[in-house]
Chains A and B, each alone.
Chain A
């Protein structure tokens, strides 16, 4: 088992530096945007040069790097990192008809900007990678880190994710029918049945190693699947459960990526109904919105649940047996085609 240490999350909710999950910040104009901290650790000049996704990633990583200054690798997940700079550069190309352009936006537009900035500011020469596989980028980063920790038992890795709502990916996804047309609050996301969700964003960083002592949670297992067939998801889940639980044993909580889009309900329903009736169900996307690496927010929430020993009321969809939450099964679904199961446990 791999262990999470010092989780940091910059999110649309009160998650950094102080955590308060008993209040929910409301979305504005159907967007759940992060509350960016002041980032005292990033020099002002460097901060101004960074795009938001890089700034959030570096800002979330710094408190961890103070305690673990030289991780043995930096593993970042981001599907849209650099998109803002990318489109700024693209707009220059089109508007100046490929004339003389400044390269700054181009250099910052690459997805590996966050991983490389963290390496650069800490002079870290170790393993460095960026997973960008849309709704499963974070799961791939988790798997990568699990493999690294089997390869190098005494090592520690900085794992993280960052994705932002930019005017650009918002426009593209809105046109693709991903978002609600009507004005809606995140607090009412699950009260009406309609197509579309509300977009969100966030950055998550954590130190991962094989040390149980002092850990915020353990990472048992990750499984991903591409399919649009709910029955395939069910079969995948059944196999995942049989590999990770004794017969008759269940997770203490199912945490799903239900996002208010009625098109995802067949998948959510089949996963929920395959659980024993005593398993409580919670959801998280009304807190963080929908974005490619939102399952990292679910991991962070799980660590908060383990730490406090309670499930924040606002997350609960269905109550179950009142027993301590030791194992949380996260089921995330990104736009119907990309599914992930992540099992995390209290230490």
Chain B
């Protein structure tokens, strides 16, 4: 596993921040936007130049911040996997990326190029979603199947389940899966125009929650076939997944959270587990009015007794296309270390649902963890991870 977010540039650093309740949400320091200082966000604490140096040792004028975050996290994942160069380069190794902003974090350059205001910038082939995955393909020399998925905020949950299916059907023996996202004027202003950005650190599942904070980051995981493990270390089993559509509205969930309910239900069914087997839910929990209430309703409908749950977006902000993979890593850390990370900034439950998230770092024996990711366009996905 590999991870870079506002709370650390490695899986281990992220874990330490989660354990100590250290949120990465604050004023924007690096990204140039009129909203810096007004809309708290969870920025990765390195400038793009510093990221370039960390990865390439020099400035690289055609690569975007989103791709740099992806390369950083995927590099850590590949190293952690212990796979040989030969295995990585083999046609049996697939790559599935996900992002919703791609290279469009370069607002000014894109404005210049898209409106043909003079000669092209060096970023002409770096704006689209695929550019992020292509940067990884080139850097790591991937020769197997490659896809990029964009289902808005559930993108990287889908990259994980799609990667698992590539293995199941023999299109790959191992798959690097995940997603990357960087702050962009595009998303900051988009979510702001929808009035769902909070001017305070987000308070998922709180009665008085006032919206989400955007975040950035990347997370990648290496999936392998069980038969190839042969005594190698592995963190967890992807034991089930669901992908459903809410089919209600382009930018909000149905009041009863039908899509979220169906997605969690499908994940449970595919894992062969009972609802009582789920020990914890890493909720989508964005901190918006709509998400937290509808997700709560869906959990109440599916579970006779809602298991402990929290939203780690109170640490990382909403990392959009990366969120599913970031939270998959957190879910797996919870399983490996048998510990739960809290939801921050929670004070009072939503009166209609009364659910209270995990509020403190605790140790707890657990076998199965569920992770939710819901996106615009009604795209709802759920993953279930189980202890090895």
Contacts and interface: CB of A to CB of B under 8 A. Distances in A.
Nearest to A112: B377
B212 to A, nearest CB: 14
Interface string A94-125: 10011111110011111111011101101111
Interface stretch (A16-24, A85-93, A283-291): A85-93
Nearest to A176: B124
Contacts of B243: 127-129
B256 to A, nearest CB: 12
A130 interface: yes
In terms of DSSP, what is the predominant structure of the interface of chain A? helix
A134 B130 contact: yes
A174 B142 CA distance: 28
A98 B185 contact: yes
A263 to B, nearest CB: 14
A175 interface: yes
Contacts of A327: none
A168 B128 contact: no
B14 interface: no
Given A125-B244, A226-B137, A133 B130 contact: yes
A98 B104 contact: no
Given A125-B258, A140-B147, A172 B245 contact: no
A76 to B, nearest CB: 10
A93 B250 contact: no
Interface in A197-248: 224-227, 232
Contacts of B104: 86, 90
A124 B130 contact: no
Contact of B128 (A74, A126, A134): A134
B297 to A, nearest CB: 16
Contact of A132 (B145, B150, B251): B150
A110 B152 contact: yes
A80 interface: yes
Contacts of B303: none
Contacts of B107: 90, 93-94
B104 to A, nearest CB: 7
Contact of A226 (B114, B143, B150, B190): B143
- Most chain B CB atoms below 10 A, which of A94, A110, A117: A110
Interface string A126-147: 1111111110110010011011
A234 to B, nearest CB: 14
A126 B262 CA distance: 9
B127 A172 contact: yes
A150 B128 contact: no
B89 to A, nearest CB: 12
A79 interface: yes
Contacts, number: 204
A116 B259 contact: no
B376 interface: yes
A91 B124 CA distance: 17
Contact of A130 (B34, B133, B149): B149
Interface residues of A, number: 68
Contacts of B169: 146-147, 150
Interface stretch (B115-123, B308-316, B337-345): B115-123
Interface in B177-219: 185-186, 188-194
A310 interface: no
B145 A126 contact: no
B294 interface: no
B35 interface: yes
A140 B154 CA distance: 18
A171 interface: yes
Contacts of A337: 134
A86 B379 contact: no
B278 to A, nearest CB: 22
Contact of A133 (B146, B191, B262): B146
B185 to A, nearest CB: 5
B55 interface: no
B315 to A, nearest CB: 25
Interface in B306-326: none
Contacts of B285: none
Given A86-B186, A90-B107, A90-B110, A128 B128 contact: no
A143 B94 CA distance: 13
Contact of A136 (B125, B128, B147): B147
Contacts of B151: 112, 115, 128-130
Interface in A128-187: 128-134, 136-137, 140, 143-144, 146-147, 150-151, 167-169, 171-176
B385 interface: no
B145 A124 contact: no
Nearest to B114: A168
B129 interface: yes
A79 to B, nearest CB: 6
Contacts of A146: 169
A73 B231 CA distance: 38
A143 B145 contact: yes
A208 to B, nearest CB: 15
B66 to A, nearest CB: 14
B113 A175 contact: yes
Contact of A87 (B108, B114, B246, B258): B114
B371 interface: no
B251 to A, nearest CB: 5
B203 to A, nearest CB: 23
A171 B250 contact: no
Nearest to A239: B91
Contacts of B244: 125-128
Contacts of B147: 131, 133, 136, 140
Contacts of A167: 114
A137 B131 CA distance: 13
Given A112-B377, A133-B133, 10 more contacts: A93-B107, A100-B193, A120-B248, A126-B245, A133-B146, A134-B129, A143-B145, A143-B166, A147-B166, A176-B124
10 contacts: A90-B114, A112-B377, A128-B245, A131-B148, A131-B149, A134-B134, A137-B130, A168-B114, A172-B127, A226-B146
Q: Pick the 8 closest A-B CB pairs, nearest first.
A: A116-B377, A175-B120, A106-B190, A134-B130, A103-B193, A98-B34, A176-B124, A168-B114
Interface of A: 74, 79-80, 86-87, 89-94, 97-103, 106-113, 115-117, 119-120, 122-134, 136-137, 140, 143-144, 146-147, 150-151, 167-169, 171-176, 224-227, 232, 337
